[in-house]
Amino acid sequence: MYRVWLLIGIYGLNICCIVGQQLTSDQLYAAGERLKDQARYREAEEQFQAAIRAAEALPFDPAALVAALTGDASLNRLMSRNPQAEALLRRAISVAEKAFGPSDIRTANALTHLADHLIWQGRDREGASLDSRALAICDNVSDLHHPQLAPTLNNIGFSTWRLGRLKDAESAFRRAVDLADSAKKPDLQTASMVENLAGVLDDQKKFDEAEPYYLRAIRIREQSVGPQHPEYAGALAALGSHYTTRGDYGKAEDSLRRALAIDEKVWGPSHPDVAAILKLLAHEFFLRGRLPAADAYYARSVDTFEKSLGPESPLLGITLEAWAEVAIAQKRYSQARRYVERAVAIREKNFGELDISVAKELNNMAYICWLDHRYEEADAAARRALSILEKTPAPEHPDKVNSLRILAHVRNSQGRYEEAAPLLKRSLDITSDALGSDNRELSEGLATYANVLRKLRRKVEASQVEMRLKAISGKR
């Protein structure tokens, strides 16, 4: 017997055999994951596809095939090939259902991967339906120590987190962490679950409760892989993001710089993980008002994402959106418009011209044009955004408020008060229905509406709106 290590990360070998013996699907899958981590996507794709072929060959291995299909799907998603990713994930579900049955936990796990992919694309109802089915399977599993149960709950938690259902996400993450802890063998997978739980606690502003989980994830990763590994860097980056969220900027910068140093040493300067940490540092600098530093780090992040993931990556688009905020803060509106124009194009390429995320970007564009007194362009962008949002299943999508407010601001700025008033009223009605009639989010809109009513000499209505605003402002 020969024991041969797959040193793909070091030598970049496209290994086809070991001492005359063909690689198994699991080995090819592992090689694909290593190459994917290194952002060597074309080579990773070859390994995943080889893993699929190996699993399909006799003797047929359905578990390995599901894993290989899921791995290839994750790669296609990174490469902005969303239809191909979806097809692979649907096939994985079909294989799992036929091999294991529709109520098996392995089928549930396959369902969660497609659910997250759909939700990530804004297809919330489809994704949530698949997650509900997966959760029902988890609730009826008899073997609480099944290795797929905790990861499946973790996946459900992640996709419900994307949906903004924070309590549901927290519940799923806690169940996953408790199950992983019961095995008493904390590993990298456990660390990810612990980190996810910390993140959803952060989003609920439970900062003191979240921090011990971040620190625990760091300890698990240090014990598992050591303090110079990208996994450890990822844990430091998560802790840094936590400190940024709670406004502890000194600690945030220290953690993020330590993470950046590790990833640059391991991966070099042109890896997506490096780009992600540069983006986190840029955001931290922006919040501190260090705009030149934020500008420089966003520039590096954008360049690194583009080199590593290509010009159509959604991660590149998200970073361009954030960079536009820095340009707006510096009143460099033409630059901000260029960044958002690219972000819109990336959204359209990945998700289609009628996707809600495109509407959000168009609202950003409209806002920038309004700030720059380019009223016709602002009006056109906001109208297009509103047209997309009017087609959404929800009768009054919350992003409509932004479109309506921008359209109203444009007309207000042009002295077209009769047209501005009904737009402002509709935006206030939507916000009131969503958040309640005395929510503080209404304050700015009410003040603007009262001002417009006074310009129209509708003094009684203006006074009523001002009384409502005063009542809201007086609330603690």
- What tens digit of pLDDT does each residue of 43-63 get? 999 999 999 999 999 899 999
Residue 144 or 22, more confident: 144
Three-state DSSP class for residue 150: helix
List b or e across 46-70, with b for residues whose CB sees 16 or more CB atoms inside 10 angstroms.
Answer: bbbbbbbebbeeeeebbbbbbbbbb
- With bands split at pLDDT 50, 70 and 90, how would you rate the model's confidence at 80? confident
Does residue 196 contact residue 235 with C-beta atoms inside 8 Å? no
140 lies in some domain: no
Of 358, 448, 434, 440, nearest to 398 by C-alpha is: 434
pTM (2 d.p.): 0.86
Which residue range is the domain that position 71 belongs to? Answer: 1-96
pLDDT at 11: 27
Q: Which residues contact 162 (CB under 8 A, 6 or more apart)?
A: 116, 119, 120
Contact 182, 140 (CB under 8 A): no
- Strand, helix or coil at 317? helix
pLDDT of residue 2: 29
pLDDT band at 355 (very low <50, low <70, confident <90, very high): confident
* DSSP states of 453-470: HHHTT-HHHHHHHHHHHH
pLDDT-derived band at 3 (thresholds 50, 70, 90) equals very low
Q: For residue 351, name the pLDDT band (cuts at 50, 70, 90).
A: confident
Question: In this structure, how many other beta carbons lie within 10 angstroms of the beta carbon of residue 215?
Answer: 15
Residue 22: φ, ψ to 5°: -70, 140
Residue 17: beta bridge partners? 22
* Residue 5, phi-psi category: left (phi > 0), alpha (psi -120 to 50), beta (remainder): beta
pLDDT at 202: 97
**Looking at the domain assignment, is residue 288 inside a domain?**
no
Average pLDDT value for the chain: 92
- Determine if the peptide bond prior to 59 is cis (ω within 30°): yes
Structurally, the chain folds into a number of domains equal to 1
Q: How far apart are CA 210 and CA 181, in angstroms?
A: 17
Q: What is the pLDDT of residue 407?
A: 97
Give the pLDDT score at 395.
54
- Residue bearing tokens 């079909």: 94
Whether the per-residue pLDDT at 6 is higher than 50: the answer is: no
Dihedral of alpha carbons 182, 200, 241, 260, sign: positive
For the record, the structure tokens of 303 come out as 């360049």
In a domain, 71, yes or no: yes
Q: Give me the pLDDT at residue 186, please.
A: 86
Q: What percent of the chain has pLDDT over 70?
A: 94
Tokens of 423: 């737009």
Examine residue 212 and state whether it is found in any structural domain, yes or no: no
Question: Considering the domain boundaries, does residue 126 fall inside one?
Answer: no
Tell me the two tokens of residue 25.
């699907």
Q: Give backbone dihedrals phi and psi of 206, rounded to 5 degrees, phi first.
A: -95, 60
Distance CA 472, CA 475 (A): 5
DSSP output for 324-370: HHHHHHTT-HHHHHHHHHHHHHHHHHHH-TT-HHHHHHHHHHHHHHH
- pLDDT reported for residue 18: 37
CATH of the domain at 91: 1.25.40.10
pLDDT band at 21 (very low <50, low <70, confident <90, very high): low
The answer to whether residue 48 sits within a structural domain is yes
Q: Over the stretch 441-457, which tens digit does the pLDDT of each residue have?
A: 899 999 999 999 999 99
Whether residue 315 lies inside any domain: the answer is no
Half-sphere exposure of 383 (CA within 13 A, CB side): 8
Which of 286, 198, 185 has the alpha carbon at shortest distance from 234? Answer: 198
**Is the per-residue pLDDT at 13 higher than 80?**
no
Residue 77 lies in a domain: yes
